[in-house]
Amino acid sequence: MTTAVDHYDRFLAEHYTWMLGGDLPALAASQRARLIEWGVVPGPAGPAAVDLGCGPGHTSLALAGLGFDPVLAVDLSRPLLDELAAHADAVPAVRPVRADLRTALGDLVRPGSAGVVVCLGDTLTHLPTRGDVAALFGEVAAALAPDGVAVFAYRDLEVPLTGTDRFLPVRSTEDRIMTCFLEYPDDFDEYTVVVHDLIHRRDRSTGNWALNAHSYRKLRLSHTWVLEQLRLSGLRVTRERSEPGGMRTVVLRRAV
């Protein structure tokens, strides 16, 4: 079973922006509006921002559009960072950084200096262990300025999906269809889920469809566990949001 990084570099990175909708500037504009809704704007905490697991960079571009500078866009996927670099060529505030999320904040950010740290797109579940997730919360709390804001998003897969509910349609266009299938193995005792990404592509010259599939493991995190680890790390929840499919978003500040 491949790692999340290998899965993205060898398979998913090629399709990732398409999977999100295909138009990175439009995605950045939409994300900018969402960040404003969450209260993520430059303020007394300062203009420095960190986007952990930035992917192709729509959130990094959104943060820069709001006036954050610098925006450290951190990821381990070279293809996705290269895509971001191409879009951010005229946005000097955005600085793509290839680094491990588990060590990036300690290496790149002075303690107490970040105005905002975001980790979106279910990135948390790509870390190897729950201990890594808890440790990252502590790193974020240490990096934030006193008035800084943190935003985490992840998919709550504590309750296993069954039957056809395990098939999750992602996106379909005339020549490409993506479906995600979830498998719950016994060998990891409710600790991980195996994600099978299935992409059908149509050859326009022949009209024939071909399937390409790739799989990796990701963590299963319960919302209750995440909230407790955030509290223990010294982060205070100011807003929560639930979305279809189990996605959760939490907005936090450093506890006084």
For position 48, what pLDDT does the model report? 97
For position 159, what pLDDT does the model report? 86
For the entire predicted model, the pTM comes to: 0.95
Domain with CATH 2.20.25 in the chain: 163-219
The DSSP element (H or E) to which 79 belongs, if any, is helix 78-87
Its CATH class, for the domain covering 4-157+221-254, is alpha beta
Q: Which CATH number fits domain 163-219: 1.20.1530, 3.40.1580, 2.20.25, 2.60.40?
A: 2.20.25
Residue-wise pLDDT tens digits, 34-44: 999 999 999 98
Domain with CATH 3.40.50.150 in the chain: 4-157+221-254
Residue-wise pLDDT tens digits, 216-246: 999 999 999 999 999 999 999 999 999 877 8
For position 158, what pLDDT does the model report? 84
Average pLDDT over residues 117-138: 96
Instruction: Tell whether the model's pLDDT for residue 1 goes beyond 70.
Output: no
Supply φ then ψ for residue 81, to 5 degrees.
Answer: -65, -35
Please tell me what DSSP assigns to residue 159. Answer: S
Residue-wise pLDDT tens digits, 93-108: 999 999 999 999 999 9
Is residue 58 within 8 Å of residue 27, measured between CB atoms? Answer: yes
**CA–CA gap between residue 48 and residue 143 (Å, rounded):** 10
% of residues, the chain, pLDDT over 90 = 89
Per residue in 71-102, is it b (16+ CB within 10 Å) or e — as a string? bbbbbbbebbbebbeebbeebebbbbeebebb
Mean pLDDT of the chain: 94
